[in-house]
Amino acid sequence: MRPAALFAGLAATLAPVLAMPASAQDRPLDVKLDQATRVQLRAPAGSVIVANPRIADVAVTDARTLFITGKSYGLTEIIAVDALGRPLFQRQVSVSPGETGSVRVWRGGEAVEVACGTRCAPAARPSTAP
């Protein structure tokens, strides 16, 4: 069989698969800053790993329930495995600003988060990330 014909047949076979929309598991889980999102696992977790604990934290309330809290803006990955090391949950987590008003004020190379309601006040932590 000629390479061109082989490639055409392979492309025709894979085209429907490649055209499928991305599943929810393929997109990052959006967590708001200083908010928590609940994740229910299909089996008990043996270990939970947070790639960058400066961005997100995980509280394990029972063997099948995780609460992911956004700590700082950014993207990280969270993985939960069972006692044998098989993955139960593996997903990127994107921490973004919440719905309430906030402003980042830059002075030199340092930024300070300011939370705004009826008045603006410095948020609980300074930020040096752009």
Residue 84 included in any domain: yes
> Using alpha carbons only, what angle is made at residue 13 by residues 9 and 19, rounded to the nearest 5 degrees?
130
pLDDT surpassing 60 at residue 126 = no
Q: Which residue has the higher pLDDT, 73 or 2?
A: 73
Residue 1 included in any domain: no
Q: What percentage of the chain has pLDDT greater than the value 90?
A: 48
Residue 45 included in any domain: yes
Residue 94: which residues within 8 A CB-CB, separation 6 or more? 28, 29, 30, 31, 74, 75
**93, exposed or middle or buried, with CB in 10 Å at 0-12, 13-18, 19+?**
buried
pLDDT surpassing 50 at residue 32 = yes
How confident is residue 100, by pLDDT bands cut at 50, 70 and 90? low
Token pair 């960058």 in the structure block, residue: 52
Give mean pLDDT, residues 38-45.
97
- What strand order describes the sheet that includes 74-81? 29-32, 87-96, 74-81, 47-50
The CATH number for 70's domain is 2.60.40.1080
pLDDT surpassing 60 at residue 121 = yes
Residue 31 included in any domain: yes
Count of domains observed in the chain: 1
Helix, strand, or coil (residue 90): strand
Give the model's pLDDT for residue 41.
97
Give the model's pLDDT for residue 99.
60
Residue 74 included in any domain: yes
Strands 29-32, 87-96: pairing kind:
parallel
**Which domain, by its residues, includes 94?**
23-98
Tens digits of residue pLDDT in 43-82: 999 999 999 999 999 999 999 999 999 998 899 999 999 9
How confident is residue 17, by pLDDT bands cut at 50, 70 and 90? very low
